[in-house]
Chains A and B, each alone.
Chain A
Amino acid sequence: MILFLQQIINGLSVGSIYALIALGYTMVYGIIKLINFAHGEIMMAGAYFAFLVGVHLGLPFFAVLIISMIGAAVLGVFIEFIAYKPLRKAPRISALITAIGVSFFLQNLALVIFKAEPKIMPNLIVKRPVNIGSLQIGTVTLATLALSIGFMIILDVFVKRTKPGKAMRAVSEDKDAALLMGINVNRTISITFAIGSALGAVAGVLFGVMYTQVYPTMGVMPGLKAFVAAVLGGIGLIPGAVLGGFVIGMVETITKAYLSSQWSDAIVFGLLIIVLLIKPTGILGKNEKEKV
C-alpha cells in the first residue's frame, strides 16, 4: 500500500512535468492551429540554459529557473517570428513540416555546441527524503509537484483574469474577429509562444534535476509524450493538457512499476491511438462537424 502510494506520487510528479510541456503544445495549437514539434527542443534548451547558469554562475535555484524561463521565452518568440510567421497563411502541412525542421535544427544545434554526451546537471535542489508518516518522498519530487501546480494556477489566473490572457482566448476563438476588436494579434501570438516556452523551460529544468543530466535529445521523448498528453486531453484546451499530462504520467509510472518498463512507451502510444479512434478531439474536446 505504501509502495503504491509512493508510485502514485511519482506518477503525479512525472505527470506534472508532462502537463507543463503539454500546456505549451496546447496553447500554441489553440492560437495558430500548429503542432509545434519544436516544443520538446525548447524544453531541452531550457534545461541547457539552467545547466550553463547553474554551473558558471552558481546562482540559487529560483534565479536559475527564472533566467532559463526568460531564455526559453526569447527563443520561442524568435522561432515563431523566423519560421512560423511567414507560414501563417500557408497550408497546414507546410507549417507542420517546418515545425519538424525547426525541431531537427535545434536538436542538432545542441549536438554541435554541447556534443552528444550527457552533461551532469548541478544539484539545484538539495536532495534528501522527506518523511510523511511512513511515506518517503524526495525533495525533488515534491518541488516538481509544487512548482508545476503553482505555475498552472498562475497560468489559469493569467488566462482568465488579465487583459493579455483574454486577448489570447479571443484570438484562439476567432483571429479575424479579434483583429477587428482592436486586439494586436501578432503580439498576442508572441505572448502565447513566450508563455508556452517558459513553461517548457520549467519542465526542462525539473526534468534535468530529476534525472541529473542534460543531453541534446532529452526533449524528444518527453516532448512526444507531452504531445500525446495534449491530444489525449483535447488539443487546444488548457485544462485538457493538464488532465492529459497527469493521465500519461500516471499510466507510465504504473506500467513501469507493475507491468513492464520496456512496454510502457507502447502502452502510452496505444492509449493515444485508442483515444483518437474513439474520440479524436480528446477527452475534453467537443466534436466539430466539417463544413463544405
Chain B
Amino acid sequence: MDKKVIKNYIINIAAIFAVYAVLKGLIYAGVITRYHQGIIVFILINVILATSLNLAVGFLGQLTLGHAGFMAVGAYVSAITAVALNANFNLPKIVVLLISLTLAAIVSALTGVAIGIPALRLRGDYLAIITLGFGEVIRVIINNIKVTGGAQGFTGIPKLSTLDNVFWITVLAVAFLYTLTHSRQGRAILSIREDEIAAEAVGVKTTSFKVMGFAIAAGLAGIGGGLYAHYIAFLDPNTFNFMRSVEILIIVVLGGMGSLTGSIVAAIVLTIMPEALRSFNELRLLLYALILVVMMIFKPSGLFGTEEFSWQGIYDRYKTRKNALHNREKKV
C-alpha cells in the first residue's frame, strides 16, 4: 500500500478516537446532557442512513425513493428479534443488539435483492418511481400484518442503543462503505454511474454490481432502522413514509452525491438545525424545502460534490499553494 494511504488511515483512526474521547469527556463534564446525547444518536443514525443511500444514489447513480422502506424492514425485524430473544434467553444487552442488528441487516439486504433484481432493469425516472412504489407497499404491509402491531405501532422494544454502541456501529458502517468504494468493486460501481454501457463493454457485470450495491445500501439502512428502533423503543409504521425517504435523500443531495464525508457533514447540519429551530418548528420544513431547491439551482453537486474530505487533501492543497507562492516570489 502507498505510504500516503497508510498515513491517511492512521490520521483518520486517530481522529475518530479523538472525537470519541472528546464526546466522552464532554458527557463526563456534564456539558452534553441527556437531551444532547439523544440528538447525537439521531445524527449518527442519519449518518448511517445517508451514507448507505449515497452508495445507491451517489456512487451507483441509481436514484431510489424507497430508502425508508428498508429502514422500516430493519427496524421491525430488529425489534421483533430483540423482543423474542429477551423473552426466551437471558443474554447480555450487547449480544441481543448485535444479533438483532445482524438479522435486520440480512433481511433488509435480502429485501433489497428481491426488489433490486426486477427494479434495477429500469433506469432514471422509472427506477425512482418503482422504488417509491415498493417503499409504499412495504409500509402498507407493515401497517396491516399482525406481527408488527399494525397501525397501532410496535411497543415494548428493549432500549439497547446507547451513544457508545451507536457511535462505533456508525464508524464501522462508514469505514465499510469507504473501503468498499475504494476497492475494485467500488471502482466497478463508479464505472456504472459514469457510463453504464461503456462499463458493460469493458466487462463489468453491471446487473450484479447494481444489485450488490443496492443490497448493501438496503442492509445498512436496515441497521440504521434497527438502531432507531432500539433507541426510540416504539415504532409507528407511518414514520417510514415517502417523506422520510425524501428527508434522507435531502441529506445526501446537500452533502454531495458521491461523497461520504459530505453526507456526514450534511447529516450533522440537518439533524441539529431542526432542534435549533425548534421554536419556529413550522418554518423549519419550509426552510428545508427552500434549501433543497436553491441548492439544486445554484450548486447541484452539493457541498462536497464527489470529493471526500481528507487531511492529506488539505495538506496537499496548502503545499501546492505555498509552492506556487514560492515560485512567484522567485520570479519576482
Q: How far is the CA of A98 from the CA of B243 in the complex (A)?
A: 14
B285 interface residue, CB < 8 Å from A? yes
List of B residues within 8 angstroms of A132 by Cβ: none
A3 within 8 A of B: no
Quote the shortest CB–CB distance from A108 to chain B (angstroms).
4
Complex partner residue of B140 from A93, A95, A265, CB under 8 angstroms:
A265
Residue from the list B130, B282, B290 in contact with A276, Cβ < 8 A: B130
The answer to whether A96 and B63 touch (CB under 8 A), given A262-B144, A272-B133, A273-B137, is yes
Bound form: Cα–Cα A225–B132 in Å? 12
Asked whether, in the complex, the Cβ of B297 is within 8 Å of the Cβ of A87, the reply is yes
The answer, yes or no, to whether B300 is at the interface (CB within 8 Å) is yes
Interface positions, chain A 171-216, Cβ under 8 Å from B, are: none
B171 neighbours in A (Cβ, 8 Å) = none
**Chain B residue contacts of A86, Cβ below 8 A:** 297
A98 and B129 in contact, given A265-B140, A270-B137 (Cβ under 8 angstroms): no
Q: Is the CB of A100 within 8 A of B133?
A: no
Q: Is the CB of A91 within 8 A of B300?
A: yes
Contact of A93 (CB < 8 Å), options: B63, B283, B289: B63
User: In the complex, what distance in Å separates the CA atom of A108 from the CA atom of B246?
Assistant: 14
A231 at the interface (CB under 8 A from B): yes
Could you say which of B87-95, B119-127, B265-273, B324-332 contacts chain A? Answer: B119-127
Interchain CB contact (< 8 A) of B292 among A101, A109, A290: A101
Assuming A83-B297, A98-B296, A280-B126, is B63 touching A112 (CB within 8 A)? Answer: no
Q: Which residues of B contact A95 (CB under 8 A)?
A: 296
Q: Please tell me if the beta carbons of A109 and B286 are within 8 angstroms of each other in the complex.
A: yes
Question: A102: CB under 8 A from chain B?
Answer: yes
Q: A101, A228, A262, A272: which has the most chain B beta carbons within 10 Å?
A: A101
Contact of A151 with B by CB under 8 A: no
B123 to chain A, nearest CB (A): 8
Is B136 in contact with A265, judged by CB distance below 8 angstroms?
Answer: yes
Interface readout for A98-120 with B: 1 if CB under 8 Å, 0 if not?
10111011001101100000000
Write out the residue numbers on chain B whose beta carbons fall within 8 Å of the beta carbon of A104: 243, 246, 285, 288-289, 292
Chain B residues, Cβ within 8 Å of A224 = 132, 136, 242
Chain A: minimal CB distance from B168 (Å): 32
- Is B249 among interface residues, defined by CB-CB distance under 8 A? yes
Contact of A94 among B122, B249, B283, B300 (CB under 8 A): B300
Say whether, besides A108-B286, A266-B141, A231 and B300 are in contact (CB < 8 Å): no
- CB contacts under 8 Å to B, within A254-283, are 262-263, 265-266, 269-270, 272-273, 276-277, 280
Whole-angstrom distance between the Cβ of A241 and the nearest chain B Cβ = 15
B128 at the interface (CB under 8 A from A): yes
User: Contact at A280–B122, with CB atoms within 8 Å?
Assistant: yes
A35 interfacial contact with B, CB 8 Å: yes
Q: Render B129-156 as a binary contact track against A, CB cut-off 8 A, 1 for contact.
A: 1101110110011011000000000000
- A101/B296 in contact, CB under 8 A: yes
Residues from chain B with a CB closer than 8 A to the CB of A280 are: 121-122, 126
* Contact A97 to B296, CB < 8 A, known contacts A227-B129, A277-B118: yes
Assess whether A1 is interfacial by the CB under 8 Å rule.
Answer: no
Q: Which of A102, A228, A265, A273 contacts B289 (CB 8 A)?
A: A102
Give the complex CA separation of A159 and B152 in angstroms. Answer: 49
Separation in Å of the B87 CB from the closest CB of chain A?
28
Residue of A nearest to B134 (CB): A273
Interface of chain B residues 294 through 315 with chain A (CB within 8 A): 296-297, 300
Map CB proximity to A onto B63-83 as digits: 1 under 8 Å, 0 otherwise.
100000000000000000000
Contacts of A35 in B (CB 8 A): 125, 128-129
Selected A-B contacts with CB under 8 Å, 14 pairs: A35-B128, A83-B297, A101-B250, A102-B293, A104-B285, A108-B286, A112-B286, A224-B242, A227-B129, A228-B133, A231-B126, A266-B144, A276-B129, A277-B130
Closest 4 CB pairs of A and B: A101-B292, A105-B289, A104-B289, A266-B140
User: Given known contacts A91-B300, A104-B289, A262-B144, what 18 new A-B pairs fall within 8 Å (CB)?
Assistant: A86-B297, A93-B124, A95-B296, A97-B253, A97-B292, A101-B289, A102-B289, A104-B243, A104-B246, A105-B286, A111-B282, A224-B136, A262-B140, A266-B136, A269-B134, A269-B140, A273-B118, A276-B122
Binding site for B on A (CB under 8 A): 35, 83, 86-87, 90-98, 100-102, 104-105, 108-109, 111-112, 220, 224, 227-228, 231, 262-263, 265-266, 269-270, 272-273, 276-277, 280, 290, 292
